[in-house]
Amino acid sequence: MDCNTCDTAPAIVFNKPEVVEVTLTVTDKAKEMLNQAFGDDRSHALLVGVLSGGCSGYMYDLQIVESTEQDCQELVIDGFRILVPRASSHLLDGIEIDYIDRLMGGGFKINNPNAESSCGCGESFS
């Protein structure tokens, strides 16, 4: 309800990101680790997503799932099902999923050509 005593705020415009057909690669080391995680059961999938947050704006979110309610693109790479949410496809197109061994434990690392910058820990990007 507008009482005509206050300035009317301009309408908020949301720009819906363009959905792109994702291409990605998985390094041999990452495939080795996925093989250990999945074993012979290939009914599960690796969900590669993006969350808001982190010190650079976005954080990667990797999960092993049976299914998801998110609208995803499904890729099959060497028998592994990889799900990428369509809403974040523009941020994840062209990524490389790698696995890095570290002194204090290893972990998956995303090499992202779309990232303008990333934090020192490699967990977030913008």
Structural domains of the chain sorted by starting position, each given as residue range(s) with its CATH number in brackets: 25-125 (2.60.300.12)
CA distance 74 to 86: 10
- pLDDT tens digits in sequence order for the chain, 126 residues long: 556 666 666 777 767 778 889 999 999 999 999 999 988 888 899 999 999 876 657 888 999 999 999 999 999 999 999 999 999 999 999 999 999 988 777 899 999 887 775 655 555 554
This prediction has a pTM of 0.78
